[in-house]
Amino acid sequence: MVNFKPLDPEFPIERQLGMDAGPVVLVNLFTVDPVDQDALIEAWKSDAQWMKKQPGYISTQLHKAIGDGSMYLNYAVWESVADFRAAFSNPEFQQQLSHYPSSAVTAPHLFEKIAVPNCCTA
């Protein structure tokens, strides 16, 4: 079972799920014991394939930290917090979390795009 750790203890994912915003980007930082990296990837792949079928899902990508570390970053784009909340809270998805290795720690957080003049658009 994956262990949850808030990326921002002042505003953990449980509080973010109550917000009304969209589109949103889920940034999810994973750490895992080096021997469990393949198991983490397989569990994440299963989750990603399930999430891809959910309403409001747009895209996802998994990244591995360079070097010898065993840190991974996933980002997923959703049409809204409500869509992500429905998928994340689904009992079928919650049951799948037991497939992660016991050394896995995840730190999920939702973000919105912002406009920065002369740099990026909202």
- Go through the chain and tell me how many residues it has: 122
User: Span 71-79, mean pLDDT?
Assistant: 97
The pLDDT, as a whole number, for residue 47 is 95
CA dihedral 100, 21, 77, 83 (to 10 degrees): 60
CATH topology of domain 3-112: Alpha-Beta Plaits (3.30.70)
The pLDDT, as a whole number, for residue 32 is 97
- Helix, strand, or coil (residue 16): helix
Q: Which residues are 30's β-sheet partners?
A: 72, 106
pLDDT over 90 (residue 96):
no
Helix (H) or strand (E) holding 78: strand 71-78
pLDDT over 90 (residue 121):
no
The pLDDT, as a whole number, for residue 104 is 97
Per-residue model confidence as pLDDT tens digits over 105-119: 999 999 999 999 999
The pTM of the full predicted model, rounded to 2 decimals, is 0.91
Cβ atoms of 113 and 9 within 8 Å: the answer is no
92 to 24, 63, 109, 120: CA distances (angstroms): 22, 25, 21, 37
pLDDT over 80 (residue 122):
no
- Tell me the C-alpha distance between 23 and 83, whole Å: 10
Number of C-alpha atoms within 13 angstroms, CB side, residue 73?
8
Per-residue model confidence as pLDDT tens digits over 26-50: 999 999 999 999 999 999 999 999 9
What number of other Cβ atoms are within 10 A of residue 80's Cβ?
Answer: 16
